[in-house]
Structure 1
Amino acid sequence: MVKNIQIHTPHQGLFDFTRQVAEVVREAKLPDGLCTLFIQHTSASLIVQENADPSAKRDLERWLNRLVPEGDSLYTHTLEGNDDMPAHIKSALTATSLAIPIINGQLTLGTWQGIYLWEHRRHGGYRSVMIHIGH
């Protein structure tokens, strides 16, 4: 089963979309297999991260913004704005795909794990994520 979902990202940051992925897994009715996610963009990424304490999310966002600042004089790719090249670098440092096992028809995420789309642009929009459920 393959499904494309759209995630609305109105601003930079981490957006939890675990429920949408879990719903696709339920629809697939596959008892055991693999859920593969792929984001079709170069300025956003995917991660599995803590979903219990919001301060973990904020700390990650602030840390990556400090690591890859906007306005660095080394950037030559500036036509699309000051946040575009940093967004590409952030995407390269994180992940564009994830693989999560399915056992007994459910994602095998840990107790405090969630699936996040990490929007690296200040003004996001809609991001496409391909979900493949299979063996």
Structure 2
Amino acid sequence: MNITFPDEKSRYITCTSMNGVKVKIGPLTGVIPGNLLTITLLGYSDRAGLVPIPGTQISLSHTITPSETGNSVEKVIGTWPQNIKPIGDGSVLIGFTINGVGNNVLVPVKLSNTAGQWCDEV
């Protein structure tokens, strides 16, 4: 199962995430309705994912429905002021588990423009 970001047109998490990061997980093969999907997010102040930012960690749980088995699931995780904006131009680790099996990906974040303004300042 893969993790992708449908709202992002580049390899970065950008200002399109001001309402949270949209995460797409799937296809959900080998899962059954009622399985628990847990998505996690943790922000880092650096691009290498070495310096976690306190207070940015969040998790979201979702029970798999019959229509989702074999398909993908899209969920939005995080809020701008608490989980996204503090990351600035660092990185974010997004992960998921279903029945103890999962995957994660470290993605660079770019929340400022060339003038140094943040997404919510433009």
Shorter-chain TM-score range? 0.3 to 0.5
Give 1 or 2 for the bigger CA radius of gyration. 1
Give the TM-score normalised by the residue count of structure 1: 0.40
Compute the TM-score of the two structures, normalised by the length of structure 2: 0.43
